[in-house]
Every structure is written in structure tokens, then in C-alpha cells.
Structure 1
């Protein structure tokens, strides 16, 4: 399994910087034989450009093709679909970050847990954020975590918690608790659930799933937030990642939804400062890796062009490499999101179909090669700072 040593990931004693992608709907398409092949295609495309880590949902609560139809009641066919996703990732030598619930209503999320609490347990809850504090809802979530981590894959016969294919568990996609802007409610929940996960599975890495917003306890860092609204999300990048059991930090980057839908160079300026502030904090205050687990720009935005998207990807990639060459905490990034052809109906505007965009494919492939060479040649002398001339000289030219 990939492990952590200080502010870097390691695998077999060598550094493990990553280049990755998101494709959240893999389990959903795997549940239907007519679309299951798209899962294999996705991993084939990812492998072809050297991507090593993928992030996807290990949840679908209520609704269409639900994994969890009601608390602790699962659809075995959908669970087998998730088994297939994990087994295909393993076959293509790609590791997975599996997210365990959504902050948003898509695919159920915390709102569905509140609905279950009201309907099944006779509770009288009025806020989605009761998910973080009510004992019944916390027990629902803990039961789901236990079920997924103890699942025996029907394709590989390997228990999820023992499978090195899984890079990390994610507590919640984009966790927020706006009902408590102080951040106390979410912090208590993170600490409790991190302990719960580590009790079941002490071996895999664990992350929260945060967007990276700075909260009221770090007023000096709020200047880096994209807007004032983000500072009221009930999260705090530094405080939340100091919770016992959390192994690495996460950050998302969406200047087109946080700042403006008018694509411009201000996006690139924001990405530069946003990445550097979080890498600095991971280096100096957290002492752990930070992964930029979602980033992209929507083709629906004004002034969008493939050339600009390529520039954004270049900017992110170069910041990762700059950190890596200094032995820094920038552990890697995951593009949102990788698509095969023929699934346009799942497109949220951020799809990247590599067969349609050769320039983007080439950029991704080059970054993967740089990271692969860096991981394999770097001997990590002197406090994990790479001073191996062979490593530096072997890297392809800057993007």
C-alpha cells in the first residue's frame, strides 16, 4: 500500500508523487451490462497517459441505481459493480481514492441521511447539517463505512480494507457545515469518523475531502479564499487536517464557479496563489502531503477554449513539479474529469475526452512521465530533498 512519510507519499521506500483523475460515475455505469465497458475504457485511457490514481464514489444513497437503498440495506448488484470498478483499476495498475458520502444532494448525500432519519426513525430534523451532529445519522454513516471497508470483492476475493488498489478513503466529498460557521460541528465529526475508519482499517491512507477553504481560526489565511462566502462553510483547511488519523490534505480548484464564469487569466493567477498557500501550509504547519483532488474549467463558461484549459492544466502541473523538486508537500493532482467517448449524457461541462483533445492528452502524458522518472530515480538525500543530478537531468523539459 502507498504510505506516508512526513510530507511525502512513499511506495516501497521510494517517493510516490501522483498524477490522477476523477470519474465519479464508474460504479453507476458498471451496474448496467450495456455500459460496463465504459469503465474499462476509462481505465485504459487513463493508463495510456500514465495516470496512476483515480477518484470515484463508493456511495449512492437512495434513488436511481442506489448502492444503499436505505440504512444498511444494499443492492448487491450495485455492490458487485463497485467490485468490478476496483478490480478493473487493479488490472490497469491504477489506485483509487474512494469517497464514502456526498456533501451535496447528488447521489443522496447527507440530505438523504436526514430524510432517512425523519422517515425511518421518526426524527424531526430540519437541516441537512444535522447529519454531522445527530447520533442516529452518525450511526447510519458509521455502518456504511464498516460495510464498505469490510466488503470482500467478488472479483478478486480481497477485502477492501486489505486491498492495495485503494490509495485512500475519503470521509466526504466537499464536506461543509454552514449551519455552524465556527467549524466546531464539522471538526468533531471529522475527529469521530477518522477514529472510526482507522479502527476498522489502520493501514490505508485517509483524507477528509475538503475544498481547502480557510475558516475563522485562520483569519490571516482568509485572504487566499476565492470569496467571502467560502470562509463561512464551517471548514478550516489547517484545523480540519490536524485531526488525528487524517494522513494528507486535499484541495479543490474551481475559479470558474468561485470567482467568475468569464474565463480569463485571473483564473491562472488564483490557481498560483491558491496552490502555493496550501503547499506552504502543508509544509510548515501540517507536515503532510497535500493533493489537489479536483481542478478544471467548464466548457460551458464564457471564453472557454481548449487552449486555455491546457494552460490551466499546465499551471497546476508545473506547481506540483516545483514543489516536488524541493521535497515539498505538493503530492499530486487529479483532473476533473476524465471521460471515454459515448457518455456525453453524464457530462457536467468538465469532461476531458482524450481522443478528442490530443494537445491535452500530450500534456497529461508528459506530466506522468516526469513524475514517473522523478519517483524512480530520486534517492531522497538530505531530509528528503532531491539532490540526485541524474533525476533532475532525466526529467523532460518543462511544460
Structure 2
């Protein structure tokens, strides 16, 4: 039942029984199970050590993917097995980290129905995602909000504020209005302190979760100075860490340089990027932020149709951010999203594979010259039967053997790289 809704009628009781039976049947079909070995020391938390990630003292690199809709699919017994499918496909290719939404604000199948009111059945869907990730040896990066209107995001928070009588002028008030910020904090606390109904482990204590992300691709163009977003990052990073000091934290920015580094503004993909209200260097100097976040989308950022220009931008963009992460920030850098749309008439699937290979090669080759760790996550991996969700970026491994081979080869390259004692350790690798 939805939180905040009475459940005393016979009809409600019958519905609860049916829901419980549906969960049991779906779990049986998917082959999922509660993790009795969650306390196993071998499944340690991912930690940050300087410019690297480690697990139980051994190097850990992010080789991962995005699939944003997992919670929504898991909330429906008819589609829950797609969650299992994508984790299995990813694990078979050697991927070890998944980034997905831990939010859905208002609207269809919402997790947060309204401020302080949550849907328990959707929460059980998120529980399943976390449990099933552990089943397949997958770490999770969980994003807690969206800058965009998809799945509600900051616009939905502002609508709730207006409905409550607040005098708000625009969506960017999400970052400054005290009441709206209290909505976000309440939601964040509810998620982080949630006890998983399958594992009986609180999210804040579960090493399956690698990191929390404050918000996906935050922008505040109403304040290009960056002060508004900076203050919000400082407040929310401190708040999350006060509840959960164990897990890593990142802020979710795209990597645009801002006013604090005017000499780097020309490195942005366009002039508008410098006015987005974000500031890569300054933002990542916030206390409590553990690693740098960067996205890579030359197809939407650059008007140039020349594919070589796009690939050169990717290399330059990545090298600059890795260099800054090492020398200025002293933290790992994760390219949390990268991809190319096959719906872009300028490019084709062949370019997308070349684009992906450029990202992987740039990341791997840089490690021979820099003392900085991190990794990357492709946008986005889909299992068969979910093509109707494709935004042009979907990679269905069963339908693209060459892409599967590329991902698997990168996994092997990472293994070889670590077997040579890279990233400051000559110990055997436990996991990627």
C-alpha cells in the first residue's frame, strides 16, 4: 500500500495478500534470493584512498553501465525479471558497477508520492534492485534526484512547494528555498536509512551500494556565478554524510568548468556550459565529496558533424579532467555517463562503437601516465525486450555482439592492467 493511505478494509487486506503472492512468485521466476551472506567480509565496501578506490585495501576500478529504470521495472512483478536480465548480461560482460535512479518524484509509479509520503511497493522494487545487484556481484551508484523533469526531479519539488503556498519563481528555487530543501532532505534520509525487505540490511550499511549521488546533472542557470549550487552542495553533502559516513558520495555534475577557473572555460564544449551554474573544480572541493563526476556527450554538446572532431574532444575532455582530479582535487574521477545516440542522423552504430572504444582506450592508457583511479559507465545498457524504452543510446548486448566483445575485452584489459600491480598495489586483484 501507499504510505499515508489507510489499510483497514477487507479489499485492502486482499490486495496486500495478492501483492505478497506476486512478489513471491516473481522472485521465484527470477531466481533471486535474500542475501544471507551480506555480512561476508569478502564483500567489503568500496572506499576512497587518495586518488583511488579500494575494497579491503585492494584497488577497485569502475567498469560499469547505466540503466535508470530498474526500480520502476522491479516494482511490477510482470517486468521484474528484466532487472535480473540486465544484471546478468552486465556481469557476463565483466561489468561490475551499475548507476540507476533511486528516485521517482510524483506521477506514474512514484516512489515519492508527495513530500514525506512514499509508496511502499515501489520501495520494495528498489529493495529488489539492491538485493539482485548483490546476487550478481554488482555495485550500485544510486542517484537521489534529477535536474530534469524526467521522473519528477527539481521541477516536481518546486510544484509541491507552490501547492503548499510557497512563493517560488522557478525550478532553480529547488536549490535555495528552505522548505523545498527540507522535502529533499526528508526523502534522502528515508532512502538512506531504509531497511531492505529482502536482505534485512539498512541501505546505509550495505556495501552493495558503492556511492550516493546528490542529483543527476545539476544546473542552476539562474545563478551563473555558481554560488547557489555551491551552497546547496555544501549543505547536502554534509547532511548525507551525517546520516551515512560509510558510503562514498558524489554530486552528479557533468564536468563543466566555471568561474573559479576562467583559464579553463575554453575547454567546455560550448559557451553556455560555463553559465550552467556548475564549477567542476570548486564543486569538488566541497567537504564530504569523495570523487569527481564527469559526463561525456559530444553528440549533444557539439554542433560539428565531423566525427574526428568529436573523438578528439572526448580525448581532450577526459585527459583534462583526469589531470585535474589528480593534481588539483586529489580524488578519483568517474565518467558517470558517456554515449552516442544512433538516432542522431550525423552518426551511425559504427561511430557509437568507435566513440565507446575511444573512452575505454583513453581511460586505460591514462593510467600508465597518471596516478589517478576511477572508471566509466556507459549510457545505457538494456536487456532484450525493453527496446521500447530506447532513447537512442540503448545498448542491447544480445543484439550487438561486437559491442559485447568490446566490453569484455576492456574487462580483460583491466584485469591485465591490475595483474601488473598498477594503481599503487602489487597485491592480487580481488575485484574490478
**Quick check: TM above 0.5?**
yes
Task: Label 1:84 to 1:6 Cα distance change in 2 as closer, same or farther (>3 A).
Answer: same
Choose which of 185, 200, 203 in structure 1 pairs with 2:228: 185
For 1:211-230, list aligned pairs within 5 A: 211-230=254-273
1:207 shift after superposition: 0.1
Deviations 1:226-250 (A, max 9, x none): 0001110000000000000000001
For 1:228 and 1:55, how far apart are their aligned partners in 2?
29
Deviations 1:338-360 (A, max 9, x none): 00111122111100000111111
1:323 shift after superposition: 2.4
Point out the more displaced range, 88-97 or 12-21. 12-21
1:303 shift after superposition: 3.7
For 1:9-28, list aligned pairs within 5 A: 9-28=53-72
Choose which of 328, 331, 341 in structure 1 pairs with 2:384: 341
Are positions 1:98 and 2:137 aligned together?
A: no
Are positions 1:32 and 2:76 aligned together?
A: yes
Deviations 1:131-179 (A, max 9, x none): 1000001111111110000000001111000000001000000011111
1:372 shift after superposition: 2.9
For 2:231 and 2:106, how far apart are their aligned partners in 1?
26
Point out the more displaced range, 254-263 or 79-88. 254-263
Are positions 1:198 and 2:241 aligned together?
A: yes
Choose which of 93, 107, 110 in structure 2 pairs with 1:66: 110
Partner of 1:130: 173
Partner of 1:289: 332
1:282 shift after superposition: 0.3
For 2:214 and 2:180, how far apart are their aligned partners in 1?
14
Aligned length: 385
Task: Label 1:185 to 1:296 Cα distance change in 2 as closer, same or farther (>3 A).
Answer: same
For 2:78 and 2:125, how far apart are their aligned partners in 1?
13
**Secondary structure, aligned partner of 2:367:** helix
Larger radius of gyration: 2
In structure 2, stretches of 5+ residues that fail to align are 1-44
For 1:389 and 1:88, how far apart are their aligned partners in 2?
29
Point out the more displaced range, 277-286 or 366-375. 366-375
1:325 shift after superposition: 2.9
Partner of 2:285: 242
1:331 shift after superposition: 1.0
Partner of 2:215: 172
**Secondary structure, aligned partner of 1:252:** strand
1:326 shift after superposition: 3.5
Contact map agreement 2:91 2:136 (CA 8 A) in 1: yes
For 1:298 and 1:351, how far apart are their aligned partners in 2?
8
In structure 1, stretches of 5+ residues that fail to align are 392-399
1:279 shift after superposition: 0.4
Partner of 2:205: 162
Contact map agreement 1:263 1:304 (CA 8 A) in 2: no
1:378 shift after superposition: 4.6
Partner of 1:47: 91
Choose which of 343, 354, 358 in structure 1 pairs with 2:397: 354
Point out the more displaced range, 338-347 or 318-327. 318-327
1:32 shift after superposition: 1.1
For 1:325 and 1:8, how far apart are their aligned partners in 2?
14
For 1:113 and 1:130, how far apart are their aligned partners in 2?
9
**Secondary structure, aligned partner of 2:140:** strand
Contact map agreement 2:304 2:310 (CA 8 A) in 1: no
Alpha-carbon RMSD across the aligned residues, in angstroms, is 1.6
Contact map agreement 1:261 1:301 (CA 8 A) in 2: no
For 1:364 and 1:161, how far apart are their aligned partners in 2?
31
Are positions 1:147 and 2:219 aligned together?
A: no
1:106 shift after superposition: 0.5
**Secondary structure, aligned partner of 1:202:** coil
Choose which of 302, 309, 323 in structure 2 pairs with 1:259: 302
1:390 shift after superposition: 11
Are positions 1:82 and 2:160 aligned together?
A: no
Provide TM-score, normalisation by structure 1: 0.94
Task: Label 1:243 to 1:341 Cα distance change in 2 as closer, same or farther (>3 A).
Answer: same
Contact map agreement 2:326 2:370 (CA 8 A) in 1: no
